[in-house]
Structure 1
Amino acid sequence: MKALALLVLFTAPALASDNSAAERNAVVLSPAQTKFILRCGGCHGTLGASPPLSVPQLRGLAGWFLCTPDAREYVVRLPNVSRAQLSDADLAQVMNFVTFDLGGASTPPATVRFTAAEVAAIRTRPLNVLPLNAYRRQIVTGLIRRCGAPASLRDYGKANAVTIAAR
Protein backbone atom coordinates (compact mmCIF):
# COMPACT_ATOMS: atom_id res chain seq x y z
CA MET A 1 0.00 0.00 0.00
CA LYS A 2 2.88 2.36 0.87
CA ALA A 3 4.47 1.64 -2.52
CA LEU A 4 1.28 2.66 -4.32
CA ALA A 5 1.05 5.88 -2.33
CA LEU A 6 4.67 6.71 -3.13
CA LEU A 7 4.10 5.96 -6.81
CA VAL A 8 1.13 8.35 -6.93
CA LEU A 9 3.04 10.97 -4.97
CA PHE A 10 6.05 10.92 -7.27
CA THR A 11 4.22 10.58 -10.60
CA ALA A 12 1.64 13.32 -10.02
CA PRO A 13 4.17 16.18 -10.45
CA ALA A 14 5.52 14.51 -13.61
CA LEU A 15 2.04 14.38 -15.11
CA ALA A 16 1.46 18.02 -14.20
CA SER A 17 4.72 19.07 -15.77
CA ASP A 18 3.88 17.11 -18.93
CA ASN A 19 0.56 18.93 -19.10
CA SER A 20 2.14 22.33 -18.51
CA ALA A 21 4.62 21.66 -21.32
CA ALA A 22 1.67 20.97 -23.62
CA GLU A 23 -0.03 24.14 -22.38
CA ARG A 24 3.06 26.22 -23.18
CA ASN A 25 2.91 24.96 -26.77
CA ALA A 26 -0.84 25.38 -27.18
CA VAL A 27 -2.15 27.77 -29.80
CA VAL A 28 -3.62 30.88 -28.21
CA LEU A 29 -6.39 32.53 -30.19
CA SER A 30 -7.03 36.24 -30.14
CA PRO A 31 -10.46 37.41 -28.94
CA ALA A 32 -11.38 38.21 -32.56
CA GLN A 33 -10.37 34.72 -33.73
CA THR A 34 -12.39 33.15 -30.93
CA LYS A 35 -15.47 35.21 -31.79
CA PHE A 36 -15.06 34.35 -35.48
CA ILE A 37 -14.82 30.63 -34.76
CA LEU A 38 -17.82 30.67 -32.42
CA ARG A 39 -20.07 32.83 -34.61
CA CYS A 40 -18.88 32.32 -38.19
CA GLY A 41 -16.66 29.25 -38.32
CA GLY A 42 -19.52 26.77 -38.47
CA CYS A 43 -20.34 27.84 -42.03
CA HIS A 44 -17.20 29.63 -43.23
CA GLY A 45 -14.84 27.10 -41.68
CA THR A 46 -12.56 27.80 -38.74
CA LEU A 47 -9.79 28.82 -41.16
CA GLY A 48 -12.09 30.70 -43.56
CA ALA A 49 -12.06 27.85 -46.06
CA SER A 50 -15.53 26.69 -47.01
CA PRO A 51 -17.30 25.08 -49.97
CA PRO A 52 -17.36 28.19 -52.20
CA LEU A 53 -20.50 27.24 -54.10
CA SER A 54 -22.65 27.24 -50.97
CA VAL A 55 -20.78 29.51 -48.52
CA PRO A 56 -18.57 32.45 -49.46
CA GLN A 57 -14.87 31.55 -49.23
CA LEU A 58 -13.03 34.01 -46.95
CA ARG A 59 -9.44 32.73 -46.96
CA GLY A 60 -7.44 34.64 -49.53
CA LEU A 61 -10.50 36.47 -50.86
CA ALA A 62 -12.22 38.53 -48.13
CA GLY A 63 -9.78 41.41 -48.47
CA TRP A 64 -11.07 42.23 -51.95
CA PHE A 65 -14.21 43.59 -50.30
CA LEU A 66 -12.14 46.47 -48.91
CA CYS A 67 -11.30 47.68 -52.41
CA THR A 68 -14.38 49.89 -52.86
CA PRO A 69 -16.52 51.82 -50.37
CA ASP A 70 -19.69 49.96 -51.44
CA ALA A 71 -18.07 46.55 -50.96
CA ARG A 72 -16.55 47.59 -47.63
CA GLU A 73 -19.99 48.57 -46.36
CA TYR A 74 -21.58 45.45 -47.88
CA VAL A 75 -19.59 43.06 -45.66
CA VAL A 76 -20.73 44.85 -42.50
CA ARG A 77 -24.31 45.34 -43.72
CA LEU A 78 -24.84 41.61 -44.31
CA PRO A 79 -27.74 40.56 -42.07
CA ASN A 80 -25.79 38.00 -40.02
CA VAL A 81 -22.96 40.49 -39.55
CA SER A 82 -24.87 43.70 -38.86
CA ARG A 83 -27.21 41.95 -36.42
CA ALA A 84 -24.52 39.93 -34.65
CA GLN A 85 -24.77 40.09 -30.88
CA LEU A 86 -21.37 41.78 -30.59
CA SER A 87 -20.41 45.28 -29.55
CA ASP A 88 -19.30 47.61 -32.34
CA ALA A 89 -15.70 47.32 -31.13
CA ASP A 90 -15.84 43.51 -31.07
CA LEU A 91 -17.44 43.37 -34.51
CA ALA A 92 -14.76 45.72 -35.88
CA GLN A 93 -12.10 43.36 -34.52
CA VAL A 94 -13.79 40.35 -36.11
CA MET A 95 -14.14 42.16 -39.45
CA ASN A 96 -10.46 43.12 -39.32
CA PHE A 97 -9.54 39.49 -38.61
CA VAL A 98 -11.67 38.30 -41.54
CA THR A 99 -10.52 40.87 -44.08
CA PHE A 100 -6.87 41.35 -43.09
CA ASP A 101 -5.86 38.01 -41.57
CA LEU A 102 -8.05 35.56 -43.47
CA GLY A 103 -8.12 37.80 -46.55
CA GLY A 104 -4.32 37.96 -46.56
CA ALA A 105 -2.82 39.18 -49.84
CA SER A 106 -6.29 40.00 -51.22
CA THR A 107 -6.45 43.03 -48.92
CA PRO A 108 -5.41 46.14 -50.87
CA PRO A 109 -2.20 47.80 -49.63
CA ALA A 110 -2.63 50.75 -47.23
CA THR A 111 -6.23 49.75 -46.44
CA VAL A 112 -7.57 51.29 -43.25
CA ARG A 113 -8.79 48.90 -40.57
CA PHE A 114 -12.41 48.95 -39.41
CA THR A 115 -13.11 51.06 -36.32
CA ALA A 116 -15.91 50.72 -33.82
CA ALA A 117 -17.34 54.09 -34.94
CA GLU A 118 -17.37 53.03 -38.60
CA VAL A 119 -19.04 49.71 -37.80
CA ALA A 120 -21.63 51.47 -35.61
CA ALA A 121 -22.56 53.82 -38.46
CA ILE A 122 -22.78 51.03 -41.06
CA ARG A 123 -24.80 48.71 -38.82
CA THR A 124 -27.64 51.21 -38.72
CA ARG A 125 -28.37 50.25 -42.35
CA PRO A 126 -28.51 46.43 -42.49
CA LEU A 127 -29.11 44.96 -45.93
CA ASN A 128 -32.75 44.36 -46.70
CA VAL A 129 -32.19 43.93 -50.43
CA LEU A 130 -33.91 40.95 -51.97
CA PRO A 131 -32.60 38.86 -53.53
CA LEU A 132 -29.38 39.28 -51.59
CA ASN A 133 -27.42 37.13 -54.06
CA ALA A 134 -28.21 39.55 -56.88
CA TYR A 135 -26.88 42.46 -54.82
CA ARG A 136 -23.73 40.47 -54.01
CA ARG A 137 -23.20 39.74 -57.72
CA GLN A 138 -23.42 43.48 -58.40
CA ILE A 139 -20.79 44.20 -55.73
CA VAL A 140 -18.53 41.39 -56.97
CA THR A 141 -18.81 42.54 -60.60
CA GLY A 142 -17.59 45.97 -59.49
CA LEU A 143 -14.66 44.41 -57.61
CA ILE A 144 -13.64 42.37 -60.63
CA ARG A 145 -13.93 45.32 -63.00
CA ARG A 146 -12.40 48.08 -60.84
CA CYS A 147 -9.98 46.19 -58.62
CA GLY A 148 -8.90 43.14 -60.59
CA ALA A 149 -10.50 40.74 -58.12
CA PRO A 150 -10.56 37.10 -59.27
CA ALA A 151 -13.58 35.78 -61.12
CA SER A 152 -13.81 33.03 -58.48
CA LEU A 153 -15.64 35.55 -56.27
CA ARG A 154 -18.61 34.81 -58.56
CA ASP A 155 -18.64 31.14 -57.50
CA TYR A 156 -20.77 31.69 -54.42
CA GLY A 157 -24.42 31.05 -55.16
CA LYS A 158 -23.82 28.91 -58.22
CA ALA A 159 -24.91 25.80 -56.31
CA ASN A 160 -28.27 27.46 -55.58
CA ALA A 161 -28.69 28.46 -59.23
CA VAL A 162 -27.94 24.90 -60.38
CA THR A 163 -30.41 23.45 -57.85
CA ILE A 164 -33.16 25.87 -58.90
CA ALA A 165 -32.52 25.21 -62.61
CA ALA A 166 -32.72 21.44 -62.04
CA ARG A 167 -36.19 21.67 -60.49
Structure 2
Amino acid sequence: MTTSALKSLGTAALFALGMASGMVRAEAIHFPAGKATFDARCAVCHQAGGKGQDGLAPPLTAYPGHYAASAQGRHQLPDTVLHGMYGEIHVADKTYNFKMPNFDSLSDDELAQVLNYVVFDLNASSHGSAKPFTTAEIKAARAKSMDAGAVYAQRTAVTKALGLR
Protein backbone atom coordinates (compact mmCIF):
# COMPACT_ATOMS: atom_id res chain seq x y z
CA MET A 1 0.00 0.00 0.00
CA THR A 2 1.39 3.43 -0.91
CA THR A 3 2.05 6.22 1.59
CA SER A 4 -0.68 8.40 0.10
CA ALA A 5 -3.18 5.54 0.36
CA LEU A 6 -2.21 5.00 4.02
CA LYS A 7 -2.67 8.71 4.75
CA SER A 8 -6.19 8.59 3.39
CA LEU A 9 -7.17 5.78 5.75
CA GLY A 10 -8.41 6.68 9.21
CA THR A 11 -6.88 5.34 12.41
CA ALA A 12 -9.59 2.70 12.81
CA ALA A 13 -9.03 1.47 9.27
CA LEU A 14 -5.27 1.29 9.83
CA PHE A 15 -5.81 -0.69 13.01
CA ALA A 16 -8.17 -3.09 11.22
CA LEU A 17 -5.70 -3.45 8.36
CA GLY A 18 -2.91 -4.17 10.84
CA MET A 19 -5.04 -6.73 12.66
CA ALA A 20 -5.96 -8.49 9.44
CA SER A 21 -2.35 -8.63 8.32
CA GLY A 22 -1.10 -9.77 11.72
CA MET A 23 0.98 -6.62 12.23
CA VAL A 24 -0.83 -5.57 15.42
CA ARG A 25 -1.56 -7.87 18.34
CA ALA A 26 -4.50 -6.69 20.40
CA GLU A 27 -4.59 -7.87 23.99
CA ALA A 28 -8.05 -7.77 25.48
CA ILE A 29 -7.92 -7.14 29.21
CA HIS A 30 -11.24 -7.87 30.87
CA PHE A 31 -9.99 -7.43 34.45
CA PRO A 32 -7.73 -4.33 34.44
CA ALA A 33 -7.75 -4.00 38.24
CA GLY A 34 -6.58 -7.60 38.47
CA LYS A 35 -3.85 -6.94 35.92
CA ALA A 36 -2.65 -3.94 37.95
CA THR A 37 -2.45 -6.07 41.11
CA PHE A 38 -0.77 -8.89 39.20
CA ASP A 39 1.80 -6.54 37.70
CA ALA A 40 2.54 -5.00 41.12
CA ARG A 41 2.56 -8.16 43.25
CA CYS A 42 2.85 -11.32 41.15
CA ALA A 43 4.89 -10.48 38.06
CA VAL A 44 8.10 -10.17 40.08
CA CYS A 45 8.16 -14.00 40.25
CA HIS A 46 5.63 -15.16 37.64
CA GLN A 47 6.81 -12.52 35.12
CA ALA A 48 4.75 -10.26 32.89
CA GLY A 49 1.92 -12.09 31.24
CA GLY A 50 2.31 -14.98 33.71
CA LYS A 51 5.01 -16.68 31.61
CA GLY A 52 6.89 -17.90 34.74
CA GLN A 53 10.59 -18.22 35.57
CA ASP A 54 12.34 -21.52 35.02
CA GLY A 55 13.09 -23.24 38.31
CA LEU A 56 11.44 -20.52 40.41
CA ALA A 57 7.84 -19.69 39.59
CA PRO A 58 5.57 -21.66 37.25
CA PRO A 59 3.75 -20.13 34.32
CA LEU A 60 0.15 -19.15 35.03
CA THR A 61 -1.03 -19.44 31.44
CA ALA A 62 -2.71 -22.88 31.46
CA TYR A 63 -3.35 -24.59 34.79
CA PRO A 64 -5.36 -21.83 36.51
CA GLY A 65 -7.93 -21.94 33.71
CA HIS A 66 -8.39 -25.66 34.23
CA TYR A 67 -8.56 -25.20 38.00
CA ALA A 68 -11.27 -22.54 37.78
CA ALA A 69 -13.48 -24.84 35.74
CA SER A 70 -13.53 -27.53 38.49
CA ALA A 71 -15.01 -27.45 41.99
CA GLN A 72 -11.73 -28.55 43.63
CA GLY A 73 -9.70 -26.08 41.64
CA ARG A 74 -12.00 -23.19 42.52
CA HIS A 75 -10.94 -23.74 46.13
CA GLN A 76 -7.27 -24.19 45.26
CA LEU A 77 -6.74 -20.83 43.60
CA PRO A 78 -8.07 -18.61 46.43
CA ASP A 79 -6.34 -20.81 49.03
CA THR A 80 -3.03 -20.40 47.21
CA VAL A 81 -3.15 -16.61 47.08
CA LEU A 82 -4.47 -16.32 50.64
CA HIS A 83 -2.21 -18.81 52.40
CA GLY A 84 0.80 -19.18 50.10
CA MET A 85 2.37 -22.48 49.12
CA TYR A 86 5.75 -24.15 49.10
CA GLY A 87 7.25 -27.32 47.72
CA GLU A 88 8.31 -28.86 44.45
CA ILE A 89 5.68 -28.77 41.73
CA HIS A 90 5.61 -29.84 38.10
CA VAL A 91 3.99 -27.85 35.33
CA ALA A 92 4.23 -28.91 31.70
CA ASP A 93 7.18 -31.24 32.36
CA LYS A 94 9.19 -28.56 34.19
CA THR A 95 9.98 -28.51 37.89
CA TYR A 96 9.60 -25.50 40.16
CA ASN A 97 10.53 -25.27 43.81
CA PHE A 98 9.80 -22.00 45.53
CA LYS A 99 7.87 -20.56 48.41
CA MET A 100 4.96 -18.48 47.27
CA PRO A 101 4.09 -15.88 49.89
CA ASN A 102 0.55 -15.34 51.06
CA PHE A 103 -1.31 -12.28 49.90
CA ASP A 104 -3.86 -12.22 52.70
CA SER A 105 -3.23 -8.50 53.23
CA LEU A 106 -5.04 -7.79 49.94
CA SER A 107 -8.80 -7.23 50.05
CA ASP A 108 -11.28 -9.87 48.95
CA ASP A 109 -12.08 -7.75 45.90
CA GLU A 110 -8.40 -7.33 44.95
CA LEU A 111 -7.84 -11.09 45.20
CA ALA A 112 -10.97 -11.89 43.18
CA GLN A 113 -9.86 -9.42 40.50
CA VAL A 114 -6.32 -10.83 40.26
CA LEU A 115 -7.63 -14.40 40.06
CA ASN A 116 -10.06 -13.34 37.34
CA TYR A 117 -7.23 -11.67 35.42
CA VAL A 118 -5.16 -14.86 35.64
CA VAL A 119 -8.04 -17.17 34.72
CA PHE A 120 -9.78 -15.13 32.03
CA ASP A 121 -7.10 -12.88 30.58
CA LEU A 122 -4.00 -15.10 30.85
CA ASN A 123 -5.90 -18.39 30.31
CA ALA A 124 -8.40 -17.30 27.68
CA SER A 125 -8.32 -20.64 25.89
CA SER A 126 -8.41 -22.98 28.89
CA HIS A 127 -11.00 -21.70 31.35
CA GLY A 128 -13.89 -23.56 29.74
CA SER A 129 -17.17 -22.72 31.43
CA ALA A 130 -15.60 -21.21 34.55
CA LYS A 131 -17.35 -18.26 36.13
CA PRO A 132 -15.51 -15.25 37.52
CA PHE A 133 -14.44 -15.40 41.16
CA THR A 134 -16.51 -13.35 43.57
CA THR A 135 -15.57 -11.54 46.75
CA ALA A 136 -17.86 -13.99 48.59
CA GLU A 137 -15.70 -16.92 47.43
CA ILE A 138 -12.56 -15.18 48.63
CA LYS A 139 -14.20 -14.33 51.95
CA ALA A 140 -15.17 -18.01 52.43
CA ALA A 141 -11.62 -19.13 51.61
CA ARG A 142 -10.20 -16.54 54.02
CA ALA A 143 -12.32 -18.05 56.84
CA LYS A 144 -10.60 -21.46 56.44
CA SER A 145 -7.71 -22.28 58.70
CA MET A 146 -4.94 -23.42 56.34
CA ASP A 147 -1.20 -23.13 56.02
CA ALA A 148 1.07 -23.27 52.98
CA GLY A 149 1.73 -26.99 53.50
CA ALA A 150 -1.99 -27.80 53.41
CA VAL A 151 -2.33 -25.74 50.23
CA TYR A 152 0.50 -27.76 48.68
CA ALA A 153 -1.19 -31.07 49.59
CA GLN A 154 -4.48 -29.80 48.19
CA ARG A 155 -2.77 -28.77 44.94
CA THR A 156 -1.37 -32.27 44.54
CA ALA A 157 -4.89 -33.70 44.80
CA VAL A 158 -6.31 -31.14 42.38
CA THR A 159 -3.68 -31.70 39.68
CA LYS A 160 -4.11 -35.45 39.98
CA ALA A 161 -7.91 -35.20 39.75
CA LEU A 162 -7.62 -32.97 36.67
CA GLY A 163 -5.00 -35.19 35.02
CA LEU A 164 -2.41 -32.41 34.99
CA ARG A 165 1.32 -32.80 35.52
The question of a shared fold, defined as TM-score above 0.5 by the shorter chain, is answered with: yes
3-state SS of the aligned residue for 1:31? helix
Question: 5 Å matches for 1:20-35?
Answer: 30-35=32-37
Q: Which has the higher helix share?
A: 1
Residue 86 (1) aligns with residue 106 (2): yes
1:72 matched residue in structure 2: 74
Query: Take 1:133 and 1:121, find their aligned partners in 2: how far apart are those partners?
Result: 19
Report percent identity of matched pairs: 28
1:103 matched residue in structure 2: 123
Deviation per CA, 1:96-124, whole angstroms, max 9, x where unpaired?
00111111111012x21111111111121
Residue 49 (1) aligns with residue 51 (2): yes
Gap change, CA 1:51 and 1:142, over 3 Å in 2: same
Which of 59, 78, 81 aligns to 2:61? It is 59
Gaps in structure 1 of 5+ consecutive residues: 1-26, 145-150, 155-167
**Is contact 1:76-1:82 (8 Å) kept?**
no
Query: Take 1:44 and 1:98, find their aligned partners in 2: how far apart are those partners?
Result: 11
Q: Which has the higher strand share?
A: 2
Gap change, CA 1:31 and 1:72, over 3 Å in 2: same
State the 1:54 CA deviation.
3.3
1:140 matched residue in structure 2: 159
Query: Take 1:112 and 1:31, find their aligned partners in 2: how far apart are those partners?
Result: 17
Query: Take 1:120 and 1:58, find their aligned partners in 2: how far apart are those partners?
Result: 23
State the 1:91 CA deviation.
1.1
2:15 matched residue in structure 1: none
State the 1:55 CA deviation.
1.8
State the 1:128 CA deviation.
2.1
1:23 matched residue in structure 2: none
How many residue pairs are counted as aligned between the two chains? 118
Gap change, CA 1:64 and 1:93, over 3 Å in 2: same
One-letter amino acid matched to 2:45? C
State the 1:62 CA deviation.
1.7
State the 1:51 CA deviation.
3.0
State the 1:69 CA deviation.
1.2
State the 1:73 CA deviation.
0.6
State the 1:132 CA deviation.
4.8
Gaps in structure 2 of 5+ consecutive residues: 1-26, 85-100
Query: Take 1:42 and 1:58, find their aligned partners in 2: how far apart are those partners?
Result: 13
One-letter amino acid matched to 2:126? S
Structure 1 length normalisation: TM-score? 0.61
**Is contact 1:129-1:135 (8 Å) kept?**
no
Query: Take 1:68 and 1:127, find their aligned partners in 2: how far apart are those partners?
Result: 20
